[in-house]
Amino acid sequence: MAGKTIKVLLVEDNPIDVLLVRATLAAASEVAFELTNATRLEAAIRLARTERFDVMLLDLGLPDAHGFATFERARAGAGELPILVLSGLGDDQVAMRAVQEGAQDFIPKAGLLDALLPRAIRYAIERHRVQVELANHAAELRRKNLELMEELTMAREIQQALLPHHYPRFSAHQNVLHFAHCYRPAASLSGDFFNVLRLSENQAGVLICDVMGHGVRAALIGTLARGLVDQFMPVATRPGEFLSALNHELSDTFKKGGIDAFVTAFYFVADLERRRITYANAGHPNALFLRRGLGTVDWLRVNGHHKPPLGMLDATQYPSFESNLAASDSIVLFTDGLFEAENSTGERFGRQRLLEAVGRRMEMPCERLLDELVHESQEFAGREDFTDDVCLVGMDVVKGGAAFGQAA
């Protein structure tokens, strides 16, 4: 502010107070002041709108305005001009209220000859400048946040659009496969994804993946992993080889990019012709296998051959396992956000509750079963949202293509 003349708009109808302010500012040595006096508030507002001023000194008792209303009208009419309130006898409470509502400070009229008046004016101008800058920064942040939210919304819509919504048809021996899914991101974007691959007319490949963490970073890594799936379709009928190839590529990419991440995955191939399911697991929760003909539900286990998630160890080889597949069987895949939901005491929903919840719904088709599992987990946690991404995929083997539970 050195070398600059400060233009002061004094709103005061008492000529003695005007002289005192003029004398005090004229005596200031650190900076020059140029004083303009208005005796009425309306006249001051017109001046503030037509001329440039650095600060307004405002008396609260004027011929056309009195008390706090004086400040309110001045603030509304003077735009961004900083205001210093001149407080007469008994006006201190009103002046303090004005400061609370946006005035820079208040100065008792008894101190108009005080050498601190010029400093108070300069400080008021500087405080106002900082406030305006902060307000502008806040407005810019709000604008950028709005843009970011719009972009995240678009990204979420794209991510949702990339999920399978119309499944391929698979049939053999008068059996067909029906699929269903449930997808609940914890944030705008999710690191969970799944895919149903058409390997032949009677072979379906079903993949579910869960990227470490959630949000934008996990979603980007998930997109990377999703993009690699087509590259390894030649070995997609062999789950162990498929996950091993995917792991090698992800490990190499993470290492080159200095990315600290991993991806859990469960992949199975349902072969209706052979009536077999072949599967492999890369650090993911085991799938649930519903044998409705036998009235049992259990885990698709890997018999002690637990392997790390994809992207952690380049040389990891994932073995494949097999099991019989019959009409009315179902398989449910899910990510850990489903059973890691916690209640108010910190207790998790857990795998055992999940197993029991499925056991109570053995006759339900996956399309309904998945929704009910999500609902039960939410009821246990006492909240509708999840702290981690949740994805479920279900497959029903249906005799003759009839609706589930009906005769062909």
pLDDT single digits (tens) 171-202: 998 999 999 999 988 776 777 889 999 999 99
Q: What percent of the chain has pLDDT over 90?
A: 61
pLDDT single digits (tens) 314-359: 999 999 999 999 999 999 999 999 999 999 999 999 999 999 999 9
As a whole number of angstroms, the distance between CA 230 and CA 210 comes to 18
Domains of the chain: 6-135 (3.40.50.2300), 163-399 (3.60.40.10)
In which band, very low, low, confident or very high, does the pLDDT at 99 lie, cut at 50, 70 and 90?
Answer: confident
For the residues 58-85, what does the mean pLDDT come to? 91
Q: What pLDDT shows up at residue 370?
A: 97
Q: What pLDDT shows up at residue 1?
A: 53
Q: What is the mean pLDDT of the chain?
A: 89
In which band, very low, low, confident or very high, does the pLDDT at 384 lie, cut at 50, 70 and 90?
Answer: confident
Tokens at 145, concatenated: 């946040």
Q: What pLDDT shows up at residue 107?
A: 84
pLDDT single digits (tens) 4-53: 899 999 999 999 999 999 998 998 888 899 999 999 999 999 999 999 99
In which band, very low, low, confident or very high, does the pLDDT at 405 lie, cut at 50, 70 and 90?
Answer: very low
For the residues 296-305, what does the mean pLDDT come to? 88
Report the range of poorest mean pLDDT among 117-121, 293-297, 403-407: 403-407
Q: What pLDDT shows up at residue 367?
A: 94
Q: What percent of the chain has pLDDT over 70?
A: 93
Q: What pLDDT shows up at residue 407?
A: 40
Q: What pLDDT shows up at residue 313?
A: 92
pLDDT at 207 over 80: yes
pLDDT at 2 over 70: no
